[in-house]
Structures are given as structure tokens and as C-alpha cells.
Amino acid sequence: MENMLHLAPSQALPMDRSIFLREQLPPAISAVDSLPVIDMSRSRDEVRRGILDAGVEFGFFMVVNHGIPEEVMRDMAEVCEEFFQLSAADKAYMYSEDRHKPNRMFSGATYETGGEKYWRDCLRLACPFPVGDGTRDWPHTPQRLRGVIEHFTTLTRGVGMELLQLLSEAMGIRPDYFEGDISSSDVVLNINHYPPCPNPEKTLGLPPHCDRNLITLLLPGSVYGLDVAYKGEWIKVEPMPGALVVNFGQQLEVVTNGLLKSIEHRVVTSSTLARTAVATFIMPTPDCLIGPAKEFVAEDRPPCYRTVRFRDFMRIYNVVKLGSSVNLTTDLKNVQKEI
């Protein structure tokens, strides 16, 4: 528990966790090219074309009018804040350094980073579908936490599956293409808490990385912190009330043989404001074989990626090294050469 940043007195925060040179942390530019916003209340044809266009151009977009009530999103944000405000004694049982434990609280980065640490505390939870006994190892305080998170996760997964169906239609493949093993593992939630940082110019909340799953939906909170790589720059993603941020994971890149891209993103810190964000990951089952689909392979478009089991992909792609330029640290094709 001594590693948890949010439990340390402000005057004792360990700035030696990760110190980087200024050239290693190029600042983000103001979002001249802002992320596309998909209004899901518009016509089905307009929405699916918007998702595909945003996926090809950015790999990221925002969705509004997605059907998750504002009250549900607000309750989720509040109960996550309440958890991190609990005393150390009230949540010590959730702390673990065991990366294989599905439900735990920890500090640092998800990936192996060669010893570099990052300015983040995280509560990670696995949510089975249908929801059942799999939540018994979740925190038991605050009292309303389990009910709120179950409800939010169910609705958010529903939005994610709807987006995948619309994307399938836009690409001309069968609408249920992404149902089954490729999306039916436990939904993983990373409830990320980024305390104020004494020197935000010298550290990061999360390193530049791509998500390894199928698709991610982020409840970003009201404080800016997310940067997305775009055309060799980092662009700021300013929170939008009521919106979810959506990005494609590397399994979508593999399945579409590179038509869609999983794009690097990072989290920056603030010297004055704490930030809590909830990432919902829709995951393949561990034994799911994933490779370029025949619909995206042709004589002039040979497979760019190998077909591997998801568990093996997760094992191989588990290292992130901080670089001074973007789109170099997570080249999926080069990573797969190691398999």
C-alpha cells in the first residue's frame, strides 16, 4: 500500500517514480483537429459512416446520445471518487502486486516499462456477462459501488457492441461479425485515479501505448488528461459533457488487416487537479484465434499480421518504452515479428 500515490501526504509524494527529459515529453498542441463527435441519434447510415470515417482517420472518436442516462454516468463517476477517498484501512484488502489477479488495486502502469513508473493509481475489476458471482471479489465499500458499476458496465458494453455492429455494416461484413469469442470475455474496467503531481512536466500518468483489446470506451471525467497521437503530434482531448471517448484496440487493427488503426495515446498529469477516468475494455476470450479476416485479404492486400491466440498476443505485447516521437513505440507489425 505504500506505493499508492493518492494515500501519500502531498508533501511526501515520491517524484522519483518517473523522471523524464523534456524532449521525451513533447507537449500536446491545442486540438486544432479535434476528435470527431458521433451523434448516435442521427440516421443509422450517417452514424455508421461516421464511425468508419473516424476509425480510418483517427482510431478515436467521441459518442453522444448513446443511450446511457446522464444519471448513470454521474453515479459512476461519483462512486469511483468515493472509493479513492476511503481510508487506507478500508481498502487495503484490494491491494495486490499480482498482475494475474483480475480484481485488485495497484499503482503504476499496466505494461512492463523497464522499471519506469507512472503517476497513476488504479482499481481494476473484471465483470463477467451475464453478471453473476464473478463480482464477489469487488470492493464491498462504498455500499452502492457494486450496483452502480454493474449497471454502468452493462450499459457501456451494450454501446460498444452496438458500435461494433454499426462498424461491421459500414465495412460490408455481417452485422454480428464481432459477436462470440472475440468479444465475450469478461469486460475489464480500469478505474484510473491520477493525483495532483508536483512536477507534471517531468512525468506521465500513462505512457504512450495502444490498447491490446478489441474496443475501449472511456468515461473521461471532467478534467483534461488524455492526449492522442495524430499526424506526428499529440493532440489534447478536452472532455465533453455526456460524451464517451471510444478507441479501437489492436485486435480490430489485426482483424481488418490494417484498415482500422489502433492509435497511441497517453495521459498527462496536473499540478493542481486530480483526475479519475474509467476505461471499459471489451475483450476476446484468451483462446480466441485472431488474425486478418478473409474479407480484408486479397491478392493485392496480403495479410499484414499473424493469426495468434489472444492470450499469446497479450504475453508478447506487454512492453512499452518511452520515446521522443509518436507512432514508433507500439508498431504492431514489428511486435508480431517476435511471436
Grid cell digits, residue 296 = 480484408
Residue 5: predicted pLDDT: 75
Mean pLDDT of the chain: 87
Domain definitions of the chain by residue range: 19-338
Instruction: Write down the pLDDT at residue 328.
Output: 36
Higher pLDDT residue, 338 or 93? 93
Q: How confident is the model at residue 330 (pLDDT cuts 50, 70, 90)?
A: very low
Give me the pLDDT at residue 265, please. 93
pLDDT(112) > 70: no
CA-to-CA distance for 282 and 26, rounded, in angstroms? 31
- Which fold is adopted by the domain 19-338? Jelly Rolls (2.60.120)
Question: Which grid cell is 332?
Answer: 504492431
Distance CA 141, CA 96 (A): 17
pLDDT reported for residue 327:
39
Q: What is the pLDDT of residues 204-259, one digit of tens each?
A: 899 888 999 999 999 999 999 999 998 888 999 999 999 999 999 999 999 999 99
**39: pLDDT confidence band, cut at 50, 70 and 90?**
very high
- All three cell numbers of 123: 482499481
- Provide the CB-side half-sphere exposure for 130 (13 A, CA): 0
Residue 115: the pLDDT is: 64
- How confident is residue 117, by pLDDT bands cut at 50, 70 and 90? confident
Give the residue-averaged pLDDT of 185-205. 91
- Residue 305 is predicted with a pLDDT of 92
